[in-house]
Structure 1
Amino acid sequence: MFPTTLFNKLIYLIIVVFVVINHKLYRLNTISPFIVLFIFLYGYVFSFFNFVDKELALQFFLSALVLFLIYPISRYRIDIDKIAKISGFAMAVYTGISLLIVVVFMDLPISAPYYMFFSNYSAGSNGLREFAEEGSLSFHMGTVPFLYLPYCLFVISYLDKRKFRSLLCAIILFITVFISASRGLILSCLIATIAIIFFKSSLKNKIYFLSFTIPLVILLIFYLLAATNVFDSKEESNSVKIGHFESFIEHLNFFNFFLGEGLASFYYSKGSQTMKAHTEITPLDMLRYFGFILTPILYLVIILPTKKIASYLGDNVLYVVLFLIYVANSFTNPTFFNSYGLLLALWYWNKILNVSNLSSEQTVQV
């Protein structure tokens, strides 16, 4: 049968071929998509010579094709901000409806088959997540990390235009993120909010803001250390990740240090006590796949898509910070090298390459 993963990414493959054939039509203001694709192609080819999850390796490889959307976005002036906002709000509404069906009104006739949909297709999960001794309810949709982007955009929109609608949407998205109980994502949204307010404030207000925020952050850190197990090495999630890291160190040898072992290569993890092809610690996975030479290059060309220093200064500093916050979150969560994670990279490139700062008359409305 035709591979489902390949079918899902076929449109991206067509875009890559079209861009290459019609390269004169597009303004190739970055070669980062080609470098990323080359690195993932290396990892995919190399995976044939090692013990790997073949389906996951193909999925990783094809996900890199998403980045080639930067060229038609640049050419046709597509408004990614608006698309992200609409998509994020729709996801929040869907999450709310799902929460009502699966958790709140679980006795409804539709609840059981709907829950089976969650289980069979990994659309989401629910249960208790231990932050403190009692734990808290979690309802996690698979694509909830993407909400980081529309949340940030709604906060920026509110501070720029002071529209209550933007504030309301930001609150709804944050509540959706909060009930997902994804600690890294919640923290990322809070840090991003602080960064946005800081960069959008005048110099005088920045001083006031820092004088208020720094003590508050210190108090929050003390609370997390004293009253929760967020940083406790014995907490289940933290213990698993520590085990992943220790096993990674033990697994290193001369060859895989430099060359890696290919996309989705297996190794034994003490954290989960199983063979793992993919873990929550994204940088370690990339080092296992590509080695210690190509992995830094991979992150470098994604974070710095152009050699023009001016592209990272001025108003774009905020976008750099917001993107780095998301990248940092992916260090302990598998939220970056997949379709929705690379879509956020695509948005970042769009900002840095100055292809979205256009008047509304020049923008394709969606």
Structure 2
Amino acid sequence: MSAVPRVNNADIAAPDDRWAGLLFSFFVYVTLIGPAAGINKLPFALMFLWLLWDIWRRPGVVITFPSLAPAIVSGIFLYGLALSLINRSDFGIAVQFVTSTLVLPLIYFIQAHDIDMDRLAERSAYLLLACTLVFWLSILGSSDLPLAGPVYDFFINYNFSAASNRDFFEGGATATLQLGTAPFLFVGLAVVGMRLLSPLRQRMDPAKLAAIMTAILISGLRALIGVSLLYLAFLALRGLRPVQRWLLMLLMAALVWLLWWAVLGDSQVLSADEESNAVKIGHFNSFVDDITVASAVFGRGLASFYFSSGSGAFKAYTELTPIDMCRYFGIPLTLVLYGCLLMPVRGLSCYLRDRGGHTVAVLLFVLMSMTNPVMFNSYGMLVILWYWSSLRQRPRAGSAR
């Protein structure tokens, strides 16, 4: 892709930027609180119209994100939608997949109005912390607290939250409390963690990091906990000298061995017999048995059904996101899809050096999506917007790369 002129931010009045930031923040907040409530459709429509107005009133000005990645990703999903019409599929789910990717063109809106996505991601994490507390109180006080019942029903029906006991260890279940959008906490963890180990650190950053990590642990989402710990280890290693780095790596290896020997050896977390793991293994084995040359090359369309031995039923989508994408679009387009998401602009320097923290964070998020359906939905695409915005924006006061 050739170089393109940047937007002159002076062309957009400061009040416009403030209102644009407030509108986009509202869109993010309502998406994270109630993704199934449909409230976010109004601010999304307003921002899309605003973006068209910006382009129309400044003819010839190319918005600063120099990539066709949003159009390519949306085009791939429209191809999958068309293919689903001639194959057995869940068309309603297919449409939801397509609509989730339509937020990606908002990267142009974010860049045009200089919206600070690091700050917004951090505030969103605190909002999720508050929602986790409210959800917990609605469970404990279901018979005593006013509105506890309606609040509980809202989180269950519109946020897909859950409170359950999971068999992580032999001899007893572990209580977990998770919001449906809890994986977005990882982005807040990344932002605060990067700032904590930078000259821009704030006095309360250790407490903020501990609070976000506590909510992640309470969620009981193993992949989320795992990638969060890996990211914290990356940040710790990143700030050390080479000799110190090797010493810390040896210490971490010893701690991992001790943890395995003392805790995980008596755990169901990595056992193939654990219910969730057994289902996912069945999903993968059935995918391998079902694949053909034609489906590997062209796919079978969005939300196409296949029989999974893991669940013993026909499934339109599973927790194994990359496998589903291969089923939907074929392997070649799946590689293009992930390439556009992870490397939307040219130049390795965009992904390394001062932006390396964002790059590692999104890679770990993709790793988490391999066994959890966290990528191609409303909040998953917000993570991609946060990552894309880091590739073009200059560091601001109070943020760190």
TM-score normalised by structure 2 residue count: 0.82
Q: Confirm or deny that 1:261 pairs with 2:300.
A: yes
Q: Confirm or deny that 1:308 pairs with 2:344.
A: no
Q: Residues 131 and 85 of structure 1: is their aligned pair in 2 closer, same or farther, counting only changes over 3 Å?
A: same
- Equivalent runs, 1:265-284 vs 2, <5 Å: 265-284=304-323
> How many angstroms apart in 2 are the aligned matches of 1:12 and 1:41?
22
Match in the other structure for 1:153: 191
Which residue identity does 2:292 align to in structure 1? N
Match in the other structure for 2:143: 107
> How many angstroms apart in 1 are the aligned matches of 2:321 and 2:394?
29
Match in the other structure for 1:137: 175
From 61, 69, 74, the equivalent of 1:32 is 69
From 336, 346, 351, the equivalent of 2:375 is 336
Cα distance, 1:208 vs. partner?
Answer: 3.2
Which residue identity does 2:387 align to in structure 1? Y
> How many angstroms apart in 1 are the aligned matches of 2:60 and 2:248?
47
Q: Residues 18 and 329 of structure 1: is their aligned pair in 2 closer, same or farther, counting only changes over 3 Å?
A: farther
Q: Is the 8 A contact 1:279 1:334 kept in 2?
A: yes
From 174, 179, 184, the equivalent of 2:218 is 179
> How many angstroms apart in 2 are the aligned matches of 1:80 and 1:304?
18
Q: Residues 252 and 10 of structure 1: is their aligned pair in 2 closer, same or farther, counting only changes over 3 Å?
A: farther
> How many angstroms apart in 2 are the aligned matches of 1:212 and 1:132?
25
> How many angstroms apart in 2 are the aligned matches of 1:100 and 1:176?
14
Match in the other structure for 2:250: 211
Q: Confirm or deny that 1:65 pairs with 2:102.
A: yes
> How many angstroms apart in 2 are the aligned matches of 1:132 and 1:216?
19
Q: Is the 8 A contact 1:77 1:356 kept in 2?
A: no
From 203, 220, 227, the equivalent of 1:188 is 227
Which residue identity does 2:393 align to in structure 1? V
Match in the other structure for 1:327: 366
Cα distance, 1:119 vs. partner?
Answer: 3.7
Q: Residues 19 and 265 of structure 1: is their aligned pair in 2 closer, same or farther, counting only changes over 3 Å?
A: farther
The two structures, once aligned, show a CA RMSD in angstroms of 2.5
Identity level (%): 33
Q: Is the 8 A contact 1:47 1:265 kept in 2?
A: yes
Match in the other structure for 2:393: 355
Q: Residues 292 and 170 of structure 1: is their aligned pair in 2 closer, same or farther, counting only changes over 3 Å?
A: same
> How many angstroms apart in 1 are the aligned matches of 2:143 and 2:184?
30
Cα distance, 1:82 vs. partner?
Answer: 0.6
Match in the other structure for 2:85: 48
Which residue identity does 1:60 align to in structure 2? F
Q: Residues 11 and 234 of structure 1: is their aligned pair in 2 closer, same or farther, counting only changes over 3 Å?
A: farther
> How many angstroms apart in 2 are the aligned matches of 1:7 and 1:301?
25
Which residue identity does 1:24 align to in structure 2? V
Cα distance, 1:306 vs. partner?
Answer: 1.5
> How many angstroms apart in 1 are the aligned matches of 2:113 and 2:78?
28
From 61, 73, 78, the equivalent of 2:115 is 78
Q: Is the 8 A contact 1:123 1:142 kept in 2?
A: yes
> How many angstroms apart in 2 are the aligned matches of 1:183 and 1:314?
30
Which residue identity does 2:178 align to in structure 1? H
**Equivalent residues, number:** 357
Q: Which moved more, 1:302-311 or 1:154-163?
A: 154-163
Q: Deviations over 1:214-248 (max 9, x none)?
A: 22123334445411011111100001101111111
Q: Which moved more, 1:6-15 or 1:335-344?
A: 6-15
Displaced runs of 4+ in structure 1, greater than 6 A?
none
Cα distance, 1:12 vs. partner?
Answer: 6.3
> How many angstroms apart in 1 are the aligned matches of 2:352 and 2:388?
14
> How many angstroms apart in 1 are the aligned matches of 2:54 and 2:328?
28
Q: Is the 8 A contact 2:305 2:315 kept in 1?
A: yes
Give the secondary-structure state (helix, strand or coil) at the position aligned to 2:330: helix
Cα distance, 1:190 vs. partner?
Answer: 0.5
Q: Which moved more, 1:44-53 or 1:160-169?
A: 160-169
> How many angstroms apart in 2 are the aligned matches of 1:69 and 1:125?
30
Q: Residues 149 and 269 of structure 1: is their aligned pair in 2 closer, same or farther, counting only changes over 3 Å?
A: same
Q: Which moved more, 1:119-128 or 1:242-251?
A: 119-128
Give the secondary-structure state (helix, strand or coil) at the position aligned to 2:178: strand
Q: Deviations over 1:2-43 (max 9, x none)?
A: x96994654565467568766724124122111111111111
Q: Residues 192 and 120 of structure 1: is their aligned pair in 2 closer, same or farther, counting only changes over 3 Å?
A: same
Q: Unaligned regions of 5+ residues in structure 2, if any?
A: 1-36
Q: Which moved more, 1:16-25 or 1:185-194?
A: 16-25
Which residue identity does 1:199 align to in structure 2? R
Q: Which moved more, 1:287-296 or 1:246-255?
A: 246-255
Q: Is the 8 A contact 1:280 1:333 kept in 2?
A: yes
Q: Confirm or deny that 1:89 pairs with 2:135.
A: no
Q: Is the 8 A contact 1:127 1:139 kept in 2?
A: yes
TM-score normalised by structure 1 residue count: 0.90
> How many angstroms apart in 1 are the aligned matches of 2:51 and 2:87?
28
Which residue identity does 2:356 align to in structure 1? V
Q: Is the 8 A contact 2:65 2:392 kept in 1?
A: no
